[in-house]
Amino acid sequence: MSDDMIQRARELRRNQTPHEQELWQELRAKRFSGFKFRRQAPIGRYIVDFVCFSMKIIVELDGSQHQDNQAYDTARDQWLSGQGFTVLRFWNNQWTQQREGVLEVIWQKLNYHPLPNPSPMKGEGLKPDPAGQVSTSTAHHPKPPLSPRGRGAGGEGAEE
């Protein structure tokens, strides 16, 4: 990491926008569900607004200047995703008008724990036959449709 990058990150920390200052008060010092965030942190050739390195989650709070830089932001997000990070991007007006909603999205992403893949073979599901082969056939145990005429609970499915 270059000295210029470190200097730029320090400058951005000193000159945070009011929106960034407010969000930082929620995220700093492990106040947010015990997760440690850093602000204006260099990652590769980019400086991100907020990052939780342990969960590899980046939070970006964007003002109107980002409307003109969407191609740059897309390329940046793709590179960061390629490094294993999840980028959550919010507009300043979302933070102003829907603060609890923004915090809820961040909290959900931090607390998302996917099931192990593949799922363990217990209880219901695929069972090995006597030869040890796993059968995916439903001929012996057909599943009933979710609703009449084979439609899902929301009414989706083929029309007659």
pLDDT for the residue numbered 9: 83
Residues 6+ apart with CB under 8 A from 52: 35, 36, 37, 110
Residue spans per domain, the chain: 3-110
pLDDT digits (tens, 9 = 90+) for 58-89: 999 988 665 667 888 889 999 999 999 999 99
pTM above 0.85, yes or no: no
The average pLDDT across 1-27 equals: 85
Write down the CATH number for the domain with range 3-110: 3.40.960.10
Task: Give the up-direction half-sphere exposure of residue 13: CA atoms within 13 A in the CB hemisphere.
Answer: 14
